[in-house]
Chain A
Amino acid sequence: MAKTAQAKQYKLKKNRNLSSVVKRSIPGWLIILPSLALFVFIVWRPIAIGIRYSFFSLRGFEPVEFVGLKNFKDVLTDTNFIQTLQNTLQYVLWSMIIGFPLPFVCAVMMNEMVHMKGYFKITTYLPVVVPAIATSLIWKMVYMDGPGGLLNMVLYYFGVEPMQWLSNKNIAILLIIISTTWNGFGGTLILYLGALQGVNQELYEAARLDGAGFFGRICHVMIPHMRGMLLLMAIRQIIGIFNITEQPLAMTGGGPSGASMSLGLTNYFYAFKYGQYEKSLALGVIVFCILAILTYVYFKLDKRVNE
């Protein structure tokens, strides 16, 4: 008898707690509601719809019939799919080789500078304010074939004949990555520079006393301090480049003969050039899965780094 009364009382208390929590939370929920609604509308609902519709055949934007994995099969067996996937990996690879070390190396050097440090900071960040689309179009001009392009002009002064750039299918991807690196590395550089200031100066001093040279200090003091951040930036960059669409669209249109086609651009072409929405949806889901895994790794790392 006493037990049930106690339980009743406990339940009452819990309810009161619950209702007070709800009451306290209502203003917060109301204020964050617009933001939440937008996230559902712009991020989460499209992802859910994309996954669902990718199993259907469509008429216009309306699903007509469940077709199972047919759309995925169509995408994966497309003659260009393997090449496009390879290209995309090539984009990622080049950006890891060029775009990833450059801001770090520059940040390390800039951190040592006594002369013109402010000038370097400002000039390396300048390309970041140039819009991505303008960057692509400007660099398209830089790479212009014939004597009118900047690169060929510079080569002229070294006595080299004009060369083919973006129309050379072996280097088109590399050239696109150089332009995106130009556009973006200043932002990462500033972040690294901030983190480098956080290295404990006494550790450098200690390493110096132990006889560590310049590179010894980098390997044993600086890199361990920066390792977490470097990893995060690497993954962030992989995710960003994996999705590359705008730059090849503006610079090469995927050419020459599909040599700079990326998965993102294929997706765009399926949807807005060929009107094959089913294929676009299926490809979107495939890319989404790959990136979701990478994102998961990113947050796991982020947590560990921040701890």
Chain B
Amino acid sequence: MAEKTARKKNTRFSDKTDGLLNYSELKTPKFKLLYWTMFLGLFIVSLICLLPVLWIAVSGFKEVDEMYAVPPTLLPQTWNFGRVCAVIAKVDLVKYLKNSIILIVGCWACDIIINGLAGYVLSRLKPAGTAFLETLIFWSMLLSGMSMVPLYMSFVDVPLLHINLTGSYVPIWLMAGSNAFNILLFRNFFNGIPMEYLEAARIDGCTNLGIFSQIIIPLSKPIIMVVTIFSIIGTWGNFFWPYLMLGNTEKEPISVMLYRLSSGSSNLMDNEYMLLMMLSVIPMIIIYAIFSKRIIGGLDMSGLKG
């Protein structure tokens, strides 16, 4: 029991080993004040980060007249959880969820396979012209998605094939397959795999394919994991091109549906709409709650070069 409380109180100034302020300075009142001012500042920032999401979640449960009541109520007077089911049924959320999942799976597969292989080529195979390819890809990073109409035209009438891709998931999947940022992420990761591993495998008589499947892939699990999480979060919120390609069709993902219901006429009450927004955010918060360490670590991994 005593041990437990000791562990609970393990945040002490004496634990501080690095940074602008050191332990001995923090013992003076001047720096103590500074420290707690910063703490307060961060606390307010973190509150602002949480508040809008919490507010949406709570407001959804209020009755409409309670939402607009003066003085405002902090928590709803009654928690009517049945309304969640009612909203799900009313907007046919399951259908949109299915659409979003199809979109996510396709984008994920394209992302991992195409960008992963490109990163591998740039990092390990290094064919002639690698420098040129890298320049091409780096430039794409900031210029992608810049030309709205020409890209739209290309999807309406695909060059060489002459098929119309509007109203299908394919354009969004293809766009996920040309993610320069992820190529860089993969390349940097593969650069970090020690060459000796590959040499050793080669001496043991491993073929190129064998090296890839038996050494590279197992070692790449962390990066695949990170890209997977980012891909899921990114695709779930992807709005603009899904809106142009799939808006007002049977294949609308949740993000597009949310916007359509907010702008056009809908038979949803304001509180029901807030519940819907909350429902659209919850899956991502769950993923974040499970993988927050990996997500934050993954950002570190991408580093500056991304």
Contact = CB atoms under 8 A, between A and B. Distances in A.
Given A46-B150, A120-B46, A125-B292, A27 B208 contact: yes
Interface stretch (B87-95, B111-119, B195-203, B218-226): B111-119
Interface stretch (A7-15, A30-38, A72-80, A164-172): A30-38
B177 A34 contact: yes
Interface stretch (B14-22, B75-83, B101-109): B14-22
A109 B139 contact: no
Given A194-B303, A288-B146, A272 B244 contact: yes
A75 B167 CA distance: 30
B240 A195 contact: no
B52 A150 contact: yes
A126 B117 contact: no
Contact of A137 (B139, B238, B259): B259
Interface in A115-142: 115-116, 119-127, 129-134, 137-142
Contacts, number: 282
A24 interface: yes
Contacts of B139: 295, 299
B142 A34 contact: no
A114 B16 contact: yes
A218 to B, nearest CB: 7
B21 A214 contact: yes
A124 B51 CA distance: 11
A24 B156 CA distance: 38
A35 B120 CA distance: 12
B69 A38 contact: no
20 contacts: A28-B127, A31-B117, A35-B114, A38-B177, A44-B136, A49-B147, A49-B150, A109-B41, A111-B20, A134-B255, A182-B49, A182-B52, A186-B49, A190-B296, A204-B20, A229-B304, A268-B148, A272-B244, A280-B148, A295-B139
A306 interface: yes
A223 to B, nearest CB: 12
Nearest to B236: A131
B153 interface: yes
A110 B56 CA distance: 27
Interface of B: 11-13, 15-16, 18-22, 31, 34-35, 38-39, 41-43, 45-46, 48-53, 55-56, 59, 67-72, 114-115, 117-118, 120-122, 125-130, 133, 136-140, 142-144, 146-154, 156-157, 159, 174-175, 177-178, 180, 183, 208, 233, 236-240, 244, 255, 258-259, 262-263, 270, 274, 277, 280-281, 284-285, 287-288, 292, 295-296, 299-300, 303-305
A32 B133 contact: yes
A192 B247 CA distance: 38
A21 interface: yes
A5 interface: no
Contacts of B136: 36, 39, 44
Interface of A: 21-22, 24-29, 31-32, 34-36, 38-39, 41-47, 49-50, 53, 61, 102, 106, 108-116, 119-127, 129-134, 137-142, 146-148, 150, 153, 156, 182, 186-187, 190-191, 194-195, 197, 201, 204-205, 208, 214, 217-218, 222, 229, 232, 236, 239, 243, 245-246, 250, 253, 267-268, 271-272, 277, 280-281, 284, 287-288, 291-292, 295, 298-299, 302, 305-306
Contacts of A295: 139, 142-143
A22 B149 contact: no
A138 B148 CA distance: 26
B114 A45 contact: no
B177 A299 contact: no
A292 B175 CA distance: 20
Contacts of A50: 147, 149-150
Given A28-B125, A113-B42, A208-B22, 10 more contacts: A126-B288, A129-B295, A131-B255, A134-B281, A137-B259, A190-B300, A214-B21, A250-B259, A288-B143, A306-B304
B159 A148 contact: no
A35 B68 contact: no
The SS class assigned to the A binding surface is helix
Contacts of A280: 148-149
A33 to B, nearest CB: 9
B109 to A, nearest CB: 12
Given A147-B69, A148-B270, A129 B151 contact: no
Contacts of A38: 114, 174, 177-178
Contacts of B237: 130-134
B146 A61 contact: no
Nearest to B125: A28
A286 B67 CA distance: 45
B288 A134 contact: no
A31 to B, nearest CB: 5
Contacts of A25: 127-129
Contact of A142 (B12, B52, B69): B52
A195 B34 CA distance: 23
Contacts of A35: 114-115, 117-118, 177-178, 183
